[in-house]
Amino acid sequence: MPSGGVGAVAMTVDRPAPPAPGAVRLLGIDPGLRFTGWGILDSAGNRLRHVADGVISTADLSDVPLRLKHLDDALAEILLRYAPDEAAVEETYVNRNATATLKLGYARGVALLAPARHGIPVFEYGAKTVKLAVVGTGGADKEQVGLMVRRLLPGAVQKRADAADALAVAICHAHHRASRAAWAAGA
């Protein structure tokens, strides 16, 4: 599949291996109106395996509805190709530019709807929660997150920080999922 440009979904792996027995396939999404990062990993207990990651670019489209349609189409393709069991989406933070926050909310809405439309449970995590789960501090910068993602997922080579952030969201969900399962087993 080509990388970059309109209509393209940049991917680091084109043909995924099936998940290992007992593993759960997770999709992490870092939504954005221009660039939406996505990452797929398999989780079995505390073991993580990188499957694929990439960035959906709508930067060449000026019309917001067309950007949202392209984002939805690309996410649908990823969902069909990788068949994740669960999805996790980073929550929107509110910044000083209300218009930018609103547009980010549009992209986030598509990111929440696409997996739900395929019957996939969707979980949400704030940026500080993701950073805390991956780096150990909620105040980590993008470089620290990228370094830890590469350490936790050997072989993962993200072309953009958006893909690393999406993998971080998936890692965060894997950790929270494992903790919930451990608590449920002990309860």
b/e 163-183 (16+ beta carbons within 10 angstroms → b): bbbbbbbbbbbbbebbeeeee
Q: Which element (helix H / strand E) includes 167? A: helix 161-186
In tens, the pLDDT along 27-64 reads: 999 999 999 999 999 999 889 999 999 999 998 888 99
3-class DSSP assignment, residue 158: coil
Which strands make up the sheet holding 122-125, listed edge to edge? Answer: 9-11, 47-57, 35-44, 24-30, 86-90, 122-125
Active-site residue set: 30, 90, 162
CA–CA separation, 123 vs 15, rounded Å?
26
pLDDT at residue number 3: 39
User: Structure tokens of 124?
Assistant: 């949400």
CB 77 within 8 A of CB 59: no
What is the tens place of the pLDDT at every residue in 70-92? 999 999 999 999 999 999 999 97
**Which pLDDT does position 12 carry in this prediction?**
46
**Confidence (pTM):** 0.88
Q: Tens digit of pLDDT for each residue in 7-31?
A: 555 544 455 777 888 899 999 999 9
Q: Is the distance from CB of 142 to CB of 165 less than 8 angstroms?
A: yes
- What mean pLDDT, rounded, does the chain reach? 87
